[in-house]
Structure formats: structure tokens, C-alpha cells
């Protein structure tokens, strides 16, 4: 596989569709991401910045938050900290800080507001 943007994007989409997505790994790095894409760190970083319009840490957190919300909606009684850890966050505090930064409210308030 080459390092064209199209090749990298195709591989990225494959990574997202894996049964155990890459972003669930707490220690996942841009270096591992580049290896998974079959490219080098520079091309991987450029892809994330230019094609996706975010930084690599922002991408990981966004994917983790989306996965968290999906899992929490599927299992509303599951502890927030347990789910956050499963989704790749190192600790509940970093998860909470990231969640509030993204949505402007705490996870608890978010799920009370969005209960169906």
C-alpha cells in the first residue's frame, strides 16, 4: 500500500470497522497509528490534521467519547468509570474533563438530559 491520501484514508476506514477498534487501547500512539496505516508518522499526522481536521489526541478522544456514548446507551446501568476505562481513557478524571470539554456538561447531566 502506498502513502497516498486515498490509501491512508481507506486503511483508516478499515481500522474503524475492526471488531476491537484501535482507539480502545489506552497506550495507542501516533507511531502505532502510522504502523497500522502502513505509513510513517509524518504521513499519519498529516492525514489526521489535513483530512480529518483535528490533532491525533483530539481524534482519539472524539472516537472514545462516541464509543462511550454508544455503550452507555446500550447499558445505562453500567458505571461511567468502568465504561470510560473500557473506551481507552486512562482515568475517570481525564475522561470527565474531555467529556465536559466536548459537550459542555458532565456525563451524568448529559445522560439525564438525553434519556429516552
Tell me the pLDDT tens digit for each residue of 32-85. Answer: 999 999 999 999 999 999 999 999 999 999 999 999 999 999 999 999 999 999
**Cβ(13)–Cβ(22) below 8 Å:** no
> 1 pLDDT band (50/70/90 cuts)?
very low
The total domain count for the chain is 2
Of the three residues 36, 53, 70, the one that is the final residue of a domain is 53
Co-location of 104 and 69 in the same domain: yes
Considering the entire predicted model, what is its pTM? Answer: 0.89
The reported pLDDT for the residue numbered 2 is 54
**Cβ(12)–Cβ(23) below 8 Å:** no
Q: Smallest Cα–Cα separation from 22: which of 55, 54, 67? A: 67
Grid coordinates standing for 38?
A: 502502513
Co-location of 48 and 70 in the same domain: no
Amino acid at each position: 500500500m502506498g502513502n497516498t491520501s486515498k490509501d491512508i484514508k481507506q486503511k483508516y476506514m478499515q481500522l474503524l470497522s475492526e471488531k476491537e477498534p484501535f482507539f480502545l487501547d489506552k497506550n495507542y500512539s501516533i507511531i502505532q497509528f502510522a504502523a497500522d496505516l502502513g505509513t510513517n508518522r509524518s504521513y499519519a499526522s498529516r492525514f489526521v490534521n489535513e483530512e480529518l481536521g483535528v490533532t491525533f489526541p483530539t481524534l482519539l478522544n472524539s472516537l472514545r467519547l462516541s464509543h462511550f456514548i454508544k455503550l452507555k446507551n446500550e447499558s445505562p446501568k453500567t458505571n461511567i468509570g468502568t465504561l470510560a476505562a473500557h473506551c481507552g481513557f486512562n482515568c475517570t478524571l481525564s475522561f470527565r474533563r474531555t467529556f465536559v470539554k466536548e459537550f459542555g456538561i458532565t456525563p451524568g447531566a448529559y445522560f439525564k438530559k438525553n434519556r429516552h
